[in-house]
Structure 1
Amino acid sequence: MATDAELRRRLADDLTAGGHLRTEPWRRAVESVPRQEFLRGGFFEVVPDSAPTAWRPVLPDTDGWLERCHADESLVTQIAGAIVPGDIRGEIMRAPTSSSTMPNLVVRMHEELQVEDGQRVLEVGTGTGYSTALLCHRLGDDLVTSVEVDPEVSLRARNALGSCGHRPNLVVGDGLLGHKDGAPYDRVTVTCGVLAVPQEWIEQTRPGGIILATLCGWQYSSELARLTVHEDGTAAGRFLGGQISFMLARPQLPPPIGMLPDLDDGEERPAVCGPEVLDDWTTRFVAQLAAPHAQRITLARAGRTETVLIDVQAGAWACLVEDRGRWTVRQGGPARIWDTVEERITRWRSDDAPPLSRFEITVTPDRQTVTWPSP
């Protein structure tokens, strides 16, 4: 059986071969930080063939636990905002709320952060603390501040970091507000999805500093963006590609849909695009730019399947129905969601459908703008 040190070297080799781990300082960090210390409470795994998805605990006394800790996979560590693996026996069917991120994504983000010796880093989303430990190994504890919204998650991370000899500045609070007491920072790295880059992050970053964050929407297509902060208090950059996905920041989770409106009462027309366009990651991201607060649900009514986009806050909705190979859309409320989505997708396609890695993002105190190049 391989030792944990051998497993760490094997993980580093795999991450290097995959092109995620590119520089020696980060390789030394991966080889030195024991990921299992951040998973001592166990993790959850998916129950095969479960629908809806069920989870079961994997505890440290389970065969193969140490090897799983060093595998390149995300490991769910909390369910429903409070339940940890040691709390249950059997299975649970609730949504994950915290995890140990896949190591290839952790190290890719650290590499993309372009950090240099002596720079101060703010991490938004401590999670298990494994990513934090890599930062501490690379920079030193005094240069790392990490914010976590969940007090229990933060406490477990503090204990795990301490067991590895690291004592960074750990803060319990809303990471969307940053942590102004430790500002200014040279780098900000974010391990949750956000609808928009908060102005607080820009204000707390030195001009020339970098913010690395994953932009998402309520249809859950997301991309990693790297922005440079400018002297005038704005930030701009590009998406890095790769279909990066994180859990949304808890304060930005979508509201409950509640009671649906009367989907038979609305303006009806032939649809230019059917809902299948939303099955493609990039096209769905473009649709999200048009309707960032729209949620997508599928209904079975009157013997047929209907796709509904609904913006609970705005009170707007669109319902797509297929009839003999053609799609019809009905829309209601103060805005026409599908009109806006179709217009944005059509314009993107007319510009030769550039990939997300060519999209640019600009954030000012007034707005966030995402554009793509015209041919």
Structure 2
Amino acid sequence: MDWKPHAATLAAKIAHPGSDWWAPVRETPRHLLVERWFTPGPHGWTAVDGPSNEKVWAAAAYSDTTLVTRIGPVHADHAETGQPVTGHPTSSSTLPSLVVTMLRHGRLTPGVRLLDLATGSGYSATLTCQRLGDDLVTTLDVDPYLTQAAAERLDRIGWHPVVVTADAGDDDLPGTFDRIVSMVSMPRIPATWLTALTPGGRLVTTIAGTGLIVTADKTEDGGATGRVEWDRGSFMATRAGDDYPPALNEVFAKAVGQDGEEVTLSSFPVLDVMQAWEVYSMLSLTTPGIEHRTGTDDDGNRLTWMLHTDGSWARACTRPGEHTATVHQSGPRRLYDDLENIRCQWLERGELPVYGARVTITPDGETTLSRDGWSVTL
């Protein structure tokens, strides 16, 4: 494959000549890092084999798109072509523009030692090796197959960072680093990250269940301070095992087939919460653990469901041409009420305090976001 024109097109889209990341994107053969991936379909996810169709391979590898490489415990490298696989995505090669955004926030100046968390395909490790030199890059993933495959592919294209298999959420990190940049979302900042950061070192991560990118610099007391950036970003959440917990299908069945214990009329139409980044992030921080689903029925009614592990659920419906929603709720908490309160704040103030919030992290990892009198501790 003549991949360089494709890489140049991608670089022009997500960077600009003279920027720190323009040359690394141009010089990275992403297709050699992602030879197979999954695409969604009506009956599950189907593996695509890149080398069998170079045109499709080039179009996918050099688009600014996330390529899913693992469903549940099944790697695309091991899946049978044409045979659907069901489950949740558990690994991917993240869209390059978000990778570059995270690395840019890391302020990777020459000579710094970097820990790249969540190796995945090895794309972020490749970019950083070009910026820093592979002797200053360590990349880590919880999945032993991913680290092995990434190490082999990195070797084939001439890069040899330290590649480690470990759980970034629970295990001690393999050394000390001036920068930690995470390509996986965390529920809070592990204390082990702060221990592994050098004085004045910088960490960059996203918060699980939100669209928030957090940057923080280590302070003299062993903690860190920083802020929630105005950029938006979201990754898969960290996991310790082969898969994430099962979806809340039993709760969803109740939300679909039952009337609620409480039925009300909302003055707002149905909202696709996960596309409203501020609202989604604020709701996830104040009421963590909600699973969102949306749909449209045969009559054109817009539907949304909110499900929680404690058995709470909410269902809202907006009919065509209407600007209100009929809301059913059941369980120990009223999930839709929490959403409505946030939407009211959003409309009254024109914004929510999550983006731009100050971040304070104690040495044991307790993470607090605060802005304009609002605060939440993770």
Aligned to 2:90: 97
Q: Which stretch has the larger CA shift, 131-140 or 352-361?
A: 352-361
- Contact in 2 for aligned 1:277/1:284 (Cα 8 Å): no
Aligned residues of 2:314 and 2:336 also touching (Cα < 8 A): yes
> How far apart, in 2, do the equivalents of 1:135 and 1:189 lie?
11
1:249 aligns to 2:221 (yes or no)? no
Is residue 278 of structure 2 the alignment partner of residue 282 of structure 1? yes
Superposition deviation, residue 203 in structure 1: 2.9
Once the two structures are TM-superposed, the CA of residue 156 in structure 1 deviates from its matched residue by 0.4
- Whether contact under 8 Å (1:358, 1:373) holds in the other structure is no
State the alpha-carbon separation in 1 of the partners of residues 276 and 162 from structure 2. 40
Structure 2 residues not aligned, in runs of 5+: none
Superposed, which structure 2 residues align to 1:1-375 within 5 Å? 3-17=2-16, 23-24=19-20, 26-39=21-34, 41-46=35-40, 50-51=41-42, 54-64=45-55, 65-66=57-58, 68-85=60-77, 87-94=79-86, 95-177=88-170, 179-183=172-176, 185-217=177-209, 221-251=210-240, 253=244, 255-260=246-251, 263-264=258-259, 266-271=261-266, 273-276=268-271, 278=273, 279-297=275-293, 307-312=304-309, 314-321=310-317, 326-354=324-352, 357-364=355-362, 365=364, 367-373=366-372
- How far the C-alpha of 1:169 sits from its partner, in A, is 1.8
Question: Residues of 1 paired with 2:330 and 2:227: CA distance?
Answer: 35
Q: 1:29 to 1:297 in 2, by over 3 A?
A: closer
Letter in structure 2 aligned against 1:62 = N
Structure 1 349/237 Cα, relative in aligned 2: closer, same or farther at 3 Å? farther
- Residue 291 of structure 1 aligns to which amino acid in structure 2? T
**CA spacing shift, 1:272–1:33, aligned 2, 3 Å:** same
> What CA deviation, in whole Å up to 9, does each residue of 1:185-204 have, x standing for no partner?
21111112233332322332
What is the CA–CA distance in structure 1 between the aligned matches of 2:83 and 2:343, rounded to whole Å?
41
Shift of 1:230: 2.0
Q: Deviations over 1:300-337 (max 9, x none)?
A: 99x9876332221x343334356886434444443333
Structure 1 gaps of 5+ residues are none
**Structure 2 CA distance for partners of 1:353 and 1:212, relative to 1, 3 Å:** same
Cα drift, residue 22 of structure 1: 5.7
Measured at CA, do residues 339 and 239 of structure 1 come closer, stay the same or move farther in structure 2, by a change above 3 Å?
same
Q: Would the alpha carbon gap of residues 22 and 299 (structure 1) be closer, same or farther in structure 2, given more than 3 Å must change?
A: same
What is the aligned length?
A: 361
Shift of residue 57, structure 1, vs aligned partner = 0.8
Q: Retained in 2: the 8 A contact 1:307–1:319?
A: yes
> Which piece of structure 1 moves more, 292-301 or 226-235?
292-301
Q: What secondary structure does 1:176 align onto?
A: coil
Counterparts in 2 of 1:141 and 1:173: CA distance versus 1, 3 Å: same
CA displacement, residues 111-133 of structure 1 (integer Å, 9 cap, x when unaligned): 22101222111111001112112
Whether the 8 Å contact between 1:275 and 1:307 is mirrored in structure 2 is: yes
* Superposition CA RMSD, Å: 3.4
Q: Given residue 30 of structure 1, which amino acid in structure 2 is its aligned partner?
A: V
Residue 282 of structure 1 aligns to a residue whose secondary structure is helix
Matched residue of 2:128: which SS? helix
- Aligned counterparts of 1:257 and 1:351: Cα–Cα separation in 2: 34
Report if the CA contact (8 A) 2:188-2:365 is conserved. Answer: no
Q: Deviations along 1:315-363, whole A, 9 cap, x unmatched?
A: 4333435688643444444333333333333334433315864334333
**Secondary structure at 1:182's aligned position in 2?**
coil
- Matched position secondary structure for 1:250: coil
Cα distance in 2 between the residues matched to 1:116 and 1:152: 31
- Give the counterpart letter for 2:343 in structure 1: I
Q: TM-score, normalised by structure 2?
A: 0.80
The question of whether the paired residues in 2 share the 8 Å contact of 1:178 and 1:201 is answered with no
Q: Alpha-carbon deviation of 1:283? A: 2.0
Percent of paired sites with the same residue: 27
